[in-house]
Amino acid sequence: MEIMKAITIKPGVKNSIEMRDAPDPARGDDNVKVKVLRVGLCGTDADIYAGEYGEAPPGDDYLILGHENFGVVEETNGNSGLRRGDYVVSTVRRPCGKCLNCQQGEMDFCSSGDYTERGIKGRHGFMAEYYTESPEYLIHIPPALRDVAVLLEPTSIVEKGIDHIYLIQRRISWQPKRALVLGAGPVGLLAAAVLRVRGLETFVAGREPSTDLRAQVAKGLQASYLSVDGMAITDLPGKTGPLDIVIEATGVSSVVFGAMQILAPNGILCLLSVTGGTGVRPEPTDRINQDLVLGNNVVFGSVNANPRHFRKGVEDFQSLEKSYPGVLQKLITSRLPWHDYGQWFGQKRTGIKTTLEISTG
Amino acid sequence: MEIMKAITIKPGVKNSIEMRDAPDPARGDDNVKVKVLRVGLCGTDADIYAGEYGEAPPGDDYLILGHENFGVVEETNGNSGLRRGDYVVSTVRRPCGKCLNCQQGEMDFCSSGDYTERGIKGRHGFMAEYYTESPEYLIHIPPALRDVAVLLEPTSIVEKGIDHIYLIQRRISWQPKRALVLGAGPVGLLAAAVLRVRGLETFVAGREPSTDLRAQVAKGLQASYLSVDGMAITDLPGKTGPLDIVIEATGVSSVVFGAMQILAPNGILCLLSVTGGTGVRPEPTDRINQDLVLGNNVVFGSVNANPRHFRKGVEDFQSLEKSYPGVLQKLITSRLPWHDYGQWFGQKRTGIKTTLEISTG
């Protein structure tokens, strides 16, 4: 067995990180061997290092760290669509194989929770000299992007969020003009970049002063940087104008809940970050943010109705009268002659629905 | 001018309700005159009575109350599609005429805020002997539904919410099985009824004991009633199983925030109620609920990404390098030889993105 160097941790053991010898994976007939050129570091790596997260592959007591990756094809067969020397980035999550979503290639919506993730959960990552992978999970990178391709994995998180903003809003006529990104870390700045490609007027709010490199990156994207240290989130629309899209990339729950109050009518808030680990004991509000993000959950408010919803109601009433005859009628628990309106207004209300009977026709 | 009886309030004046004479509206060439048979009463009527809400039509100093309505056509011309004696329910909101949504007939997503609403905001309602209306806003009711049609307006609120649940979730493979309704008032029970028509296993959670009429209505719909007085919302999934859909119909913000923590993976929470008025000074959390509901806002969490989001990222990187050359590169603020991993793990992190350089190829 060949040996390679790798950076590993023992899952659940704080500060267990080490560079060690690990088996150099042999390429199987159906996969590709990739030489790793570079990995990016992110908060999840820090959480795994802190022992808060991470799961070793079956049979191993260690996990090779690293999920933001960039490499070059070392060996492949003729069917992979890739050639030796091609640059690639590997995706991270692998399907559970049993839930509806994973079966349809939507492992990012795995509903069993039994997905695996390279460098995070049940599969080795990319802080190693080599890895092997099925070609379906390798993204071919044009050589012109070799210096920035290590940013592709965090960008994919942003791309999913923005994709789903538009997928969700197909439900209405919607022409978003203005977007705000909360947080100027890598995810926040990459979100600003993608929003600019989509043609939106873009604001980035961060704690750092306007002289910070983050502000320069925003400026380079023709986005506006707002230094918000000590400012209430709810004051932001006064500086930006109505916000059709807000992307939350801080994971700080007070920011998350502030963000729920700054949307324009028909606006949408995308939560991309969970509250960082490293010993922080989450507040109940942090837990709500975690639940929404990790569950791919949607919360939406709905007011009023369109004429088509009245027509659908007529149709459903007919179905209800057929399936559950007389039940709808039971909702009307009191029928007052309309001159007796004073028996309802200003009184303690009982029953389910009261009507005022105005005429018998 | 003919005179009719109507129940009116002076907007903003508590307890100003009275039955009074008002002009009997004359039918114009293009509209329909309807004799009102019955109106339903709801929390919005109580809020308007309490002076917290409500706006008179231009030129009047009073507002005819009532928006949940049922009536019979009294006079019409040949072009309305309706005949004298037809039962009708009128929709409530009228378009602002200037925003994109109203122009496309989606006045329930009015983004200017300048819509009007019969019986609520700038237009007289239905607590009167007669009203006139353009036929496009009148819903024809089959005679078999004459006893329950007064429930159609609150049902339309529910139909919109459930319609948008499914419109939003077209974004993924999604086969919901189980739904929970929080609140057993008219909106909650009507939501349970519509969910049952959609074939979902349905639970209704209310404060009332299981002997209450509300529980009987739920049972009549083959839905399960859960009496939850004193129970934590977050304990509910233990009694129901994984919840794909939750519909919030209490307007109590502690319930709203509890509901954000009980969704199954890929689950969706629809907020239908705002915190009732009658002198209650809203908490910040109430205000979040109000903002989300009245703004038709969406909040969603997003985790991980699909391979197509990596491919979209490659495409966007190419656009970014063209439009903002060199900016992406600026996000990588530190490139460490991988043997120096100890300079990042467990250290205070600075800069934007750090990479570990593993090989030069």
Question: For testing the chain B interface, which of A247, A302, A321 should be mutated: the one with the most B CBs within 10 Å?
Answer: A302
CATH number for the domain whose boundaries are B156-301: 3.40.50.720
Q: Would you say the C-alpha torsion A117, A121, A123, A125 has a positive or negative sign?
A: positive
| CB–CB contact A109 B172 (8 Å) | yes
Q: Would you say the C-alpha torsion B27, B32, B35, B39 has a positive or negative sign?
A: negative
Helices (H) and strands (E) in chain A, counts: 9, 19
Q: What is the mean pLDDT of residues A176-196?
A: 98
| CB–CB contact A359 B35 (8 Å) | yes
User: Sheet of A93-94: strands edge to edge?
Assistant: A93-94, A116-118, A122-123
| CB–CB contact A301 B295 (8 Å) | yes
Amino acid at B359: S
Interface size between A and B, measured as CB pairs under 8 A: 526
pLDDT tens digits, one per residue of A253-296: 889 999 999 999 999 999 999 866 544 566 778 889 999 999 99
CB B42 within 8 A of CB B186: yes
pLDDT at position B294 is 93
pLDDT tens digits, one per residue of B288-330: 999 999 999 999 999 999 999 999 999 999 999 999 999 999 9
The residue behind tokens 């709808």 is: A328
Strand B116-118 and strand B201-206: the pairing is unpaired
Confidence class of residue A209 from pLDDT cuts 50, 70 and 90?
A: very high
Among the listed ranges A15-19, A196-200, A252-256, B257-261, which one has the minimum average pLDDT value?
A: A252-256
DSSP conformational letter for A282: P
CATH number for the domain whose boundaries are B3-148+331-357: 3.90.180.10
Q: Which chain A residues contact residue B49 at CB under 8 A?
A: 345-346
- Closest Cβ–Cβ partner in B66, B309, B356 for A39: B356
Length of chain A, please? Answer: 361
pLDDT at position B264 is 97
- Closest Cβ–Cβ partner in B168, B341, B344 for A300: B168
Q: Which chain B residues contact residue A110 at CB under 8 A?
A: 265
- The answer on pLDDT for A29 being more than 90 is no
Q: What are phi and psi of B81, to 5 degrees?
A: 80, 5
Q: Where are the domains of chain B?
A: 3-148+331-357, 156-301
pLDDT tens digits, one per residue of A45-85: 999 999 998 999 999 999 999 999 999 999 998 788 999 99
Compute the mean pLDDT over every residue in chain A, rounded to the nearest whole number.
95
Q: What percent of chain A has pLDDT over 90?
A: 89
Q: What percent of chain A has pLDDT over 70?
A: 98
Q: How far is CA A96 from CA A32, A62, A132, in A?
A: 21, 21, 19
| CB–CB contact B332 A148 (8 Å) | yes
Give the separation between CA A103 and CA B244, rounded to whole angstroms: 19
| CB–CB contact B324 A193 (8 Å) | yes
pLDDT at position B160 is 98
| CB–CB contact B353 A151 (8 Å) | yes
Q: What percent of chain B has pLDDT over 70?
A: 98
pLDDT at position B282 is 67
pLDDT tens digits, one per residue of B188-210: 999 999 999 999 999 999 999 99
The radius of gyration of chain B's CA atoms, rounded to the nearest angstrom, is: 27
pLDDT at position A282 is 67
| CB–CB contact A101 B172 (8 Å) | yes
- Closest Cβ–Cβ partner in B111, B222, B268 for A266: B111
The SS3 of residue A308 is: helix
Q: Which residues of chain B have pLDDT under 50?
A: 278-279
Question: For testing the chain B interface, which of A180, A358, A360 should be mutated: the one with the most B CBs within 10 Å?
Answer: A358
pLDDT at position A27 is 85
- Shortest distance between the Cα of B203 and any Cα of chain A, in A, equals 16
